[in-house]
């Protein structure tokens, strides 16, 4: 696996976890591993639960296989709680595209859209609207030459506060960029908007 540590640490700081997509050529350096992935239970816990994951939208359970296939993602490549890191308070899932040149990681948690906007390692941050929700498209400062990766963060209700769901497209080194990562990230965000907390228009 080839390391792309600084970029992935950057997005990890946005969403609170490290990204290592199963079967890909990317890894995050120095990310501690936890005790393993949590179970794929419902993202909404009973009222009064002290679990920090309470009411965090879970992309692994919220997106049906038929919707993934329709959006050109392979449900059989689903990876939950990536890198065996326990992302307390976060829900994380990833899939390989059927085009095979990129992977899609979806990060769901409590950081605000403003916190994403303020990241110093992101650039070319552009405001969007995704399914009626405020959103931001962003690139990575250390990817200025090749522009292999792109993300779209969407503001959504997470429990009793506004949080985000981020869609991150990462190009696979073994294949190379066969399209525009930002186009793919924006497409996936819009296509899955109806499944997000608060729905989509």
Residue located via tokens 């679990």: 51
CA distance 175 to 163: 34
Q: How far, CA to CA in Å, does 126 sit from each of 8, 92, 105?
A: 20, 23, 20
Lowest mean pLDDT among 9-18, 22-31, 44-53, 104-113: 22-31
At 90 the pLDDT is 73
Element (H, E) at 167: strand 161-171
Q: What is the distance between the alpha carbons of residues 157 and 131, in angstroms, rounded to a whole number?
A: 13
* List of E strands, 14-160: 26-27, 73-80, 91-97, 102-109, 122-130, 133-140, 149-158
Q: Which comes out higher in pLDDT, residue 191 or 9?
A: 191
**Token digits of residue 159:** 């429990």
Per-residue pLDDT, 142:
86
Please determine, for residue 49, whether its predicted confidence score (pLDDT) is greater than 70.
Answer: no
Closest C-alpha to 175, from 16, 70, 23: 23
- Each residue's pLDDT tens digit, 72-123: 999 999 998 664 344 556 789 999 999 999 999 999 998 899 988 988 889 9
**C-alpha Rg value of the chain to the nearest Å:** 15
187: pLDDT strictly greater than 90 = yes
Using CA atoms, how far apart are residues 85 and 87, in angstroms rounded to an integer?
A: 6
Structure token pair of residue 191: 């296509």
pLDDT digits (tens, 9 = 90+) for 140-184: 988 888 899 999 999 999 877 889 999 999 999 899 999 999 999
- What is the rounded distance in angstroms from the CA atom of residue 127 to the CA atom of residue 78? 29
């Amino acid at each position: 696996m080839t390391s792309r540590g600084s970029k992935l640490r950057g997005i990890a700081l946005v969403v609170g976890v490290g990204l290592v997509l199963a079967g890909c050529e990317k890894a995050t350096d120095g990310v501690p591993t936890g005790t393993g992935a949590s179970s794929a239970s419902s993202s909404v816990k009973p009222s009064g639960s002290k679990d920090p994951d309470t009411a965090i939208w879970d992309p692994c359970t919220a997106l049906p296989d038929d919707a993934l296939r329709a959006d050109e993602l392979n449900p059989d490549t689903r990876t939950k709680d990536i890198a065996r890191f326990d992302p307390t308070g976060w829900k994380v899932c990833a899939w390989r595209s059927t085009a095979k040149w990129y992977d899609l990681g979806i990060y769901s948690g409590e950081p605000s859209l403003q916190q994403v906007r303020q990241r110093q390692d992101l650039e070319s941050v552009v405001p969007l609207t995704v399914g009626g929700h405020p959103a931001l498209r962003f690139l990575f400062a250390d990817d200025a030459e090749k522009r292999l990766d792109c993300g779209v963060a969407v503001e959504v209700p997470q429990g009793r506060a506004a949080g985000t769901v981020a869609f991150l497209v990462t190009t696979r080194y073994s294949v190379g960029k066969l399209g525009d990562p930002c186009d793919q990230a924006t497409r996936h965000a819009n296509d899955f908007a109806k499944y997000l907390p608060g729905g989509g228009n």
